[in-house]
Amino acid sequence: MIFTRHSTPEAGREFYADVKGRLARYGREPGDLKIMPGVTYVLGDTDADAQERAAEVRRQQVSPQNAILALEQVWGRDLSGYDPDGPLPDLDPDPDSALVQGRVRVADPVGVARKWRALSEAKGLSIRQTVIESTSRQSFVGSPATVAAALEEHVATDAADGFILVPHLTPGGLDDFVDRVVPLLQERGVFRTEYAGTTLRSHLGLPESVWKAGTP
């Protein structure tokens, strides 16, 4: 199983086709490997309600301090003196900065800064608002029916084989999904109603093959 993440369904389908297309050379079938992206979700009674909740979640996730840190990772400069509720810096990023985003260096800081500036100017956004809108992490937002349909479509169109749910609240973050979305997926016939085996491989629909040393 490959645990991955993609920003769009198109990116997911491209990755899916690329990786699955390599299996034959190793004597494996497409079903021998599962691609399971990590996804987040926000549910509401209606789609509009879910969008409002998603916006509130992002405001809570991106504090003023976090907004400045995100800005520094793109600009590669100490921007602690900037007001998170003020405009973006008018200076250019330092492309040779040692600052990194997680463990991955921002590939095109100048390009990212240009996009952020364009967004900020078009919508009149502050630093914090720009970071919130530019780094939104909710993969699926909507009513339970909307989210269930979107999940099914991703699998049906070969963007994924399934999903690893990453709730924004723990513990208990999965409760709403289990209570409101899983029954709809079961009604659609795309989620199990009982387990057919006793191992993770069987739960994922993978063959119970015997692994041998040296096997690719």
Closest CA to 51 of 128, 140, 129, 148: 140
> What is the pLDDT, as a whole number, of residue 196?
82
Does 101 map to a domain?
yes
Q: Which residue's entry shows tokens 């979640």?
A: 57
Domain edge (last residue) among 83, 106, 134? 134
Establish if 11 belongs to a structural domain. no
> Is there a single domain that holds both residue 90 and residue 194?
no
Using an 8 Å Cβ cutoff, are 96 and 165 in contact?
Answer: no
- 162, 182: one domain: yes
> What integer pLDDT is reported at residue 103 of this predicted model?
45
Extract the runs of DSSP E, i.e. beta strands, from 111-167. Answer: 140-142, 164-165
Domain of residue 118 covers 63-134
pLDDT at 210: 54
Q: In this structure, are 127 and 144 located in the same domain?
A: no
pLDDT for the residue numbered 124: 95
Give the pLDDT confidence score for residue 137 in this predicted structure. 67
- Kindly tell me the burial class for residue 127, based on how many C-beta atoms sit within 10 Å of its own C-beta (0-12, 13-18, 19 or more): buried
pLDDT along the chain (216 residues), means of 10: 88 95 93 93 96 90 93 91 95 72 65 93 95 82 97 96 90 92 97 90 80 54
What pLDDT score was predicted for residue 52?
Answer: 94
Residues 124 and 142 in one domain: no
- Looking at the structure of the chain, the number of domains it has is 2
Per DSSP, what are the bridge partners of residue 101? 104
Q: What is the pLDDT of residues 4-60, one digit of tens each?
A: 988 789 999 999 999 999 999 999 999 999 999 999 999 999 999 999 999 899 888
In a domain, 213, yes or no: no
In a shared domain, residues 181 and 163: yes
Residue 17 counted as domain residue: no
Final residue of a structural domain among 116, 134, 152: 134
- Residue 84, in any domain of the structure: yes
